[in-house]
Amino acid sequence: MNTPVIAVDGPAGSGKSSVCRGVADRLGLRYLDTGAMYRAMTWAMLDAGVDVEDPRAVEGALDAISIISGTDPLAPTIHVGGTDVAGPIRGDVVTGAVSAVSAVPAVRVRLVQIQQQEVQQAVEAGTGIVVEGRDITTVVLPDADLKVYVTADPQVRAQRRAAQDVDLGKQAVDVDQTQTELLARDAKDSSRTTSPLAIAPDAIVVDTTDMTLGQVVAHVCELVAALPGR
């Protein structure tokens, strides 16, 4: 258990990205943001002029796209080919299109394969890894050493996402509008046919509504420490 594989799922705004980076940094593990990979794929499709509402068009464009993720929890990176897309993938256009691209089965097959390869490389390197997303505990890493589902009250999630948008330099938005958009995204992610957002039966649910980031990071680290062999 010197190379733990920690799988973390949860809806947008639940705090899972900050939690996962914090846990990975504290435990000396690699970190993989699979949501950024889907956003990068969406950005690439839009940049190439692909109709993201046409699954066949999206599938046909897949072979020409290369997604590269950096796994340093303190400085995660995401590139499409040689282009740094860490900023652009957080824009409203990509946000509005990512659910459509993510729902294409061929996209998920392609990215899941890459994600599983990243995990295998981390284990072989003796570092272990924290992987976050919306189907990590159920599809990508069903045999992970620890499965966590991070969630929070919808209003709190909306407040966090709105604050995050401001930190990214976006214009301040109405929290109620943000909450409506998050719930719509939840509905799409939970109802898609391929790899829907779901709580794995053996996942530990962590509700971060009334917890600080430090408290959540400490709690997950305690869950890791309690694993057999730790």
Range(s) of the domain holding residue 200 = 5-225
- Token match 């730790």: residue? 230
* Burial (Cβ within 10 Å: 0-12, 13-18, ≥19) of residue 77: middle
Residue 89 placed within a domain:
yes
Residue 52 placed within a domain:
yes
Model confidence pLDDT, tens digit, residues 147-177:
999 999 989 888 888 777 666 666 667 788 8
For position 192, what pLDDT does the model report?
Answer: 76
In total, how many domains does the chain have?
1
- Token match 């401001």: residue? 166
Model confidence pLDDT, tens digit, residues 171-202:
667 788 888 888 888 888 787 777 777 899 99
Residue 195 placed within a domain:
yes
Query: Per-residue DSSP letters for 83-112?
Result: EE-TTGGGSHHHHHHHHHHHT-HHHHHHHH
Model confidence pLDDT, tens digit, residues 14-34:
889 999 999 999 999 999 999
Residue 22 placed within a domain:
yes
CB neighbour list of residue 10: distance below 8 Å, 6 or more residues apart? 16, 132, 134, 149, 150, 151
Backbone angles phi, psi at 127, to 5 degrees: -110, -30
Q: Is the pLDDT of residue 47 over 60?
A: yes
Q: Which of 123-132, 137-146, 168-177 has the least mean pLDDT?
A: 168-177
Residue 230 placed within a domain:
no
Residue 66's identity, in one-letter code, is S
For position 166, what pLDDT does the model report?
Answer: 64
Q: Is the pLDDT of residue 1 over 90?
A: no
- CATH number of the domain that residue 199 is part of: 3.40.50.300
Model confidence pLDDT, tens digit, residues 51-67:
999 999 999 999 999 99
Reported pTM:
0.89
